[in-house]
Each structure stands twice: as structure tokens, then as C-alpha cells.
Amino acid sequence: MKKSISIIITIFLGSLLVGCSKENQKNSTDYQVMKRAEATELLSVDISLATDTVSHTALYNTYEGLYRLGSSNEVIPAGATKLPQVSEDGRKYTIELNKKSKWSDDKPVTAKDYVFSWQRTIDPQTESQYAQLFSNIKNAKKIMTKELKPTELGIKAIDDYKLEIELESATPYFQNLLAFPNFFPQREDIVKKYGSEYATTSQKAVYNGAFTLTNYDASSGGATKWTYKKNQNYWDRSKVKLDKIENTVVKDAGTAFAMYESGKLDETYLLGEYVNQNKGEKEVITILKPSTYYLQFNMIDKDSFLSNKEVRQAMSSITNRKEIVENVLNNGSREAISFVPKGVYYNPDTGEDFSETYEPKMEYNVKNGVDTWNKVFNNQKMEIKLLIPDDDGIKKVAEYLQESGFTYQWNEILL
């Protein structure tokens, strides 16, 4: 088995160790198995409800949308045969579907599967946290506020293999959105068959991607083990070299590294001292995976001091992001200067990275932070509880924040 990454991961910039286990060395020309570690549980494989990076990794591997993104973020046809035909005003998209695309139960992927999926996600009853991504589609905002029905969303099936999408206004980045997992298709009959249990186990869903999901059960919470198995009904299966990918949650970076060293894993993540230990090793791969980690403040209680904008600005100013990425994570991550990470969006005319041109940028300035805090509290100290997931990297960041002035309470609640 060649030392390479064969799955799509979309999280922050990270370092991975990628090798070949003894099992694969023995069967390098036969059955191909990859064993890898994840730092956190797989919470959801429901296209309408998934929000975290591990869940999106699973969706990228087991489903396929109209398009995928190439190595330079270029849009590449996948479930579509070619790039969209766009009207002169930029508001109407006509897309021809790939007639070879099938579901794992051998049924064809049709335009109706996209229509149903998008309507389900935008439906307020679904309570999708990512419904706002559909905001530029005609009627989406009115559907989200219950002024219109989901069936009035600006997407329709012209026939089995042709989609028409209408936007509220021209949106230059819309094609890129179509490669995001929440825009992938869903089968109406399967969703209705399983109801509230849809996609809670691997058997209660069908897949149209390079792999199918097996050994997954999140009916009582997140799954700690799951497997991707080569989808024999995938239209482009001849290019899929792996037969199986076994995923195991290993929350401690040291334990994961030891498992890799002993041959129990073919891939693991690196954090902190393990990055320094392995610098220069040919098995270390650093991959840019754009996303942003951030503190989400509880502002439900309007009387809470966290509802004060200046308090949040003060906390932002005293957070040394550069020190966090260089000394705490030490895995190649970059400090955030805006909510949109580097390497995602570029000015189509100048080629400039959006994050470099956005103002105001987030900057580390202790004096400004302290002055702003004292302006509100007059030197008063306040206790802040930070709820974090059970993730080794995030726990290290939380510990750093505690030492630099924050207090936190560990809890298995993902913000």
C-alpha cells in the first residue's frame, strides 16, 4: 500500500503520520485496508444535520454531490456531467446530472433526490444549523421564517437528470457551495422509512459516494468506531484503490502515536511534542484543511456580562492565537485573523486571499484588551466557564486559556 492520503478531510491545517501496517504490507496487491485514528466521535451522518468536521469527513467519503473541489479549490463535476449553465444575470443555474450515479442499493441518483434534500434541510422543522448556507436561493429566507413552504424553494427537477436552481441574486461563490456536504442528495423514501432514526446507524441510510458506511451506530450518542467500505455501485469505483477504511477514536495524541508506531494504525494526527519528534520524517504530511475554531459565547441570558460586545472584544484582544498554534497545537495550524480561514476564497479579479483583505483583523493586543475590560468592570474579576469537547487538542487550548486568564469547566459538550 502506497503512503498516501486516500480520504478527504476538511478540518484545520494539521500534521498526519501516514504509513503502512504489517497487514497491508502482506496484502499490498490484494485487499487494501487502511486503519486510521480520529480525535473525536462521529456525531452525525445526516446530511441536513451534520455540522462538525469528523461528520463532514464521513459525508465526503460516503456521499457525492454535484461537484467536488480540486487541489486548487477548482470546481470539478462529480454528480453532474459538467459545470452549470448560468444565465446572464447570474441568478439561474441549469445542471445536467451524471446518469451513471447510483445509490448503494443500485437505484439511480435523480434530480428529485437533490430537490428533496435541500427542501428537508431548509425546513424549519428539521432544525438544521447549516440552513443559512441556502440563504441565497430563491425563497430560502422566507421558508426559514415560515412565511413560505419548503416546496417553494428555488430548486426544481426539470426531468430525472436535469436541475434548475434560481437564486435571489447573483452569487459568485455558489458553485463552490455545491461541493459542500449539506448540499448532497438524500433519498426521500429512505428518510421517511426510518423517520427519527434515519442515519442513526449505517444500515438506516443509503450512499452514493466512493464508500458505504458500516459498523456505525450513534443512536445513543457519537460513534467511536466506524468503517468505510468500497461502494461497488459507485460510478467511478475503478479509481477507488482502498477496499476498506477502519476508523477508531483515539482521544489522546500520545496513545494514537504509540498505536501508529506499533503498526496498529496507518494514519494518525500529530499534536504538540509529537510534531517536533517527527519533523523531517517522510511519513509526516501537512494538509491545508480550511476551517476556523472559535469561542461561542452563551448570550441567551441578556443580563449576562458576555452579552456585552466590549467584553467579547476584550477577550479576543488578550487571546494570543499565534502562541496557541505555535506552542500549544504545534501542528502547522495558523492563527486566525478573520472568521474566514486562509485559502478558501479569493478575489476573482486580483487573486487576493479574502482573509488578507477583510477588515478589521483580529489582533493580539493585551493593553487594548485590559483597557476595554476595565472600562466595563473597573478592574473587577469575573469567572468564565468554558465547555469543551473531549478532544486532546482542544483540551490543550482550553488549558492554555485557563493559564492565560480564563477559567474553564471540562464537559463533553461541543460548542
Give 17's pLDDT tier (boundaries 50, 70, 90): low
Tell which residue, 38, 2, 42, 41, has the closest CA to residue 18. 2
Question: Among 151-165, 243-257, 325-339, where is mean pLDDT lowest?
Answer: 325-339
* Burial category of 211 from C-beta neighbours within 10 Å (exposed 0-12, middle 13-18, buried 19 and up): buried
The 3-state DSSP class for residue 60 equals helix
Q: Are 182 and 128 in contact (CB under 8 A)?
A: yes
pLDDT-wise least confident of 54-63, 131-140, 341-350, 401-410? 401-410
For residues 92 and 129, state if they share a domain. Answer: yes
Instruction: Report residue 281's pLDDT band, with 50, 70 and 90 as the boundaries.
Output: confident
Domain boundary among 186, 208, 230: 208
List phi, psi (to 5°) of 294. Answer: -150, 160
Which H or E run contains 350? none
* In a domain? residue 412: no
Q: CATH number, domain at 312?
A: 3.10.105.10
Residue 408 forms part of a structural domain: no
Same-domain pairing of 319 and 187: no
pLDDT for res 26: 46
- Among 23-32, 340-349, 357-366, where is mean pLDDT lowest? 23-32
CA 85 to centroid of chain Cα atoms? 28
Minimum mean pLDDT among 23-27, 151-155, 210-214, 238-242: which range?
Answer: 23-27
pLDDT, tens digit, 9 for 90 and up, residues 291-300: 788 888 877 7
118 & 192 share domain: yes
Q: Do 162 and 258 lie in a common domain?
A: no
Q: With respect to residue 217, please indicate whether it lies within any of the assigned structural domains.
A: no
- Please check whether residue 26 is in contact with residue 171, taking contact to mean a CB–CB distance below 8 angstroms: no
Do 119 and 83 reside in the same domain of the chain?
yes
DSSP assignment, residue 84?
P
Same domain? For 77 and 195 the reply is yes
In this structure, the answer to whether residues 75 and 190 fall within a common structural domain is yes
Same domain, 174 and 280: no
Q: What is the pLDDT of residue 13?
A: 36
Is the residue at 21 inside a domain?
A: yes
Q: Which residue has the higher pLDDT, 244 or 411?
A: 244
CB 236 within 8 A of CB 294: no
In a domain, 389, yes or no: yes
Q: Which residues contact 105 (CB under 8 A, 6 or more apart)?
A: 206, 233
Residue 333 lies in a domain: yes
Q: Both 70 and 29 in a single domain?
A: no
The 10s digit of each residue's pLDDT in 225-244 is: 999 999 999 999 999 999 99
What is the structure's pLDDT at 111? 98
- Give the DSSP letter of residue 324: I
Q: Place 415 in a pLDDT band, splitting at 50, 70 and 90.
A: very low
Query: What is the count of structural domains for the chain?
Result: 3
Model-wide pTM > 0.85: no
**Residue 193 has what pLDDT?**
98
Q: What is the CATH number of the domain that holds 135?
A: 3.90.76.10
Q: Domain boundary at 192, 208, 224, which?
A: 208
Residue 50 maps to a domain: no
Lowest mean pLDDT among 61-75, 91-105, 114-128, 378-392: 378-392
Full residue range of the structural domain in which residue 195 is found: 65-208
Q: Which residue, 241, 260, 289, sits at the end of a domain?
A: 289
Say whether both 335 and 392 belong to one domain. Answer: yes
pLDDT confidence of 132, banded at 50, 70, 90? Answer: very high
Over 60: is that where the pLDDT of 14 sits? no
Residues 259 and 124 in one domain: no
Q: Are 115 and 198 contained in the same domain?
A: yes
Judge whether 331 and 273 are in contact, CB under 8 Å: no
